[in-house]
């Protein structure tokens, strides 16, 4: 695995790195996807602010800009963390602390799912105030981010299937159930035209 951070690569290099490995980098892929969804949502706030919006629209757009900038940075950090988590896991295991290593590999997906849910909620709050020309783009970003939340929850669930240790299940299974409920409550639209 390359020492280069996935967040510093070109899109083509990141896609090549993920696709050419025989080790699946699900967490890194989910993290980069979250950063892209947040970037698209941020662009809808930028577009809204460019159209001489009302005071309320402008304030809401600024809130979304800041939230999505934080989300983008956090997703890229989590993608980099996940890309290096296996190496850290091996080091922890060699120190004789395998449970701590398993928890590390579960914590990243949980954090990604929580971040995605927070991001979707911010987008949903902006829906009534987004400018018309970017309305559909906000829906695309929201749908992408809802998928990121579900994929991250599935990665956590997969790790718990692989390592069904009672300590891990006690710590993380409640998060899986909470995340499922919160993801199911999201309000992504199924169609643009009604």
> Does residue 47 form part of some domain?
yes
DSSP one-letter string for 77-106: HHHHHHHHHHHHHHHHHHTT-HHHHHHHHH
pLDDT in tens, 55-109: 999 999 999 999 999 999 999 999 999 877 777 877 888 888 888 889 989 999 9
> Does residue 3 form part of some domain?
no
> Does residue 17 form part of some domain?
no
Q: What is the domain range of residue 92?
A: 24-184
3-state SS, residue 166: helix
> 138: domain CATH number?
1.20.120.680
Instruction: Indicate the number of domains in the chain.
Output: 1
Q: For residue 16, what pLDDT band results from cuts at 50, 70 and 90?
A: very high
> Does residue 11 form part of some domain?
no
pLDDT in tens, 19-37: 998 888 899 999 999 999 9
- Give residue 1's pLDDT: 44
Task: Reply yes or no on whether the pLDDT at 190 is more than 70.
Answer: yes
> Does residue 12 form part of some domain?
no
Looking up tokens 């004789």 gives 96
Q: For residue 3, what pLDDT band results from cuts at 50, 70 and 90?
A: low
pTM metric for this prediction: 0.93
Cα 8–Cα 151–Cα 170 angle in degrees, nearest 5: 110
Give the CA dihedral 160, 161, 165, 167, nearest 10 degrees: 20
Cβ neighbours around 86 below 10 Å, total: 16
> Does residue 157 form part of some domain?
yes
> Does residue 2 form part of some domain?
no
pLDDT in tens, 57-72: 999 999 999 999 999 9
> Does residue 1 form part of some domain?
no
DSSP one-letter string for 2-54: -SS-GGGS-HHHHHHHHHH-SS--HHHHHHHHHHHHHHHHHHHHHHHHTT---
């Amino acid at each position: 695995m390359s020492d280069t951070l996935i967040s510093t690569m070109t899109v083509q290099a990141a896609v090549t790195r993920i696709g050419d490995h025989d080790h699946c980098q699900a967490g890194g892929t989910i993290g980069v996807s979250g950063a892209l969804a947040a970037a698209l949502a941020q662009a809808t706030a930028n577009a809204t602010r460019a159209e001489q919006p009302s005071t309320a629209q402008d304030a809401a757009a600024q809130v979304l800009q800041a939230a999505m900038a934080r989300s983008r940075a956090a997703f890229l950090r989590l993608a980099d963390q996940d890309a290096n988590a296996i190496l850290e896991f091996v080091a922890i295991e060699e120190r004789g602390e395998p449970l701590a290593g398993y928890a590390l590999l579960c914590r990243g997906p949980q954090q990604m799912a929580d971040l995605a849910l927070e991001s979707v909620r911010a987008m949903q709050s902006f829906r009534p105030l987004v400018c018309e020309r970017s309305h559909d783009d906000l829906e695309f970003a929201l749908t992408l981010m809802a998928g990121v939340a579900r994929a991250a929850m599935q990665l956590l669930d997969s790790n718990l299937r692989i390592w069904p240790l009672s300590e891990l299940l006690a710590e993380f299974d409640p998060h899986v159930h909470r995340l499922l409920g919160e993801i199911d409550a999201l309000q992504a639209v199924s169609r643009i035209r009604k």
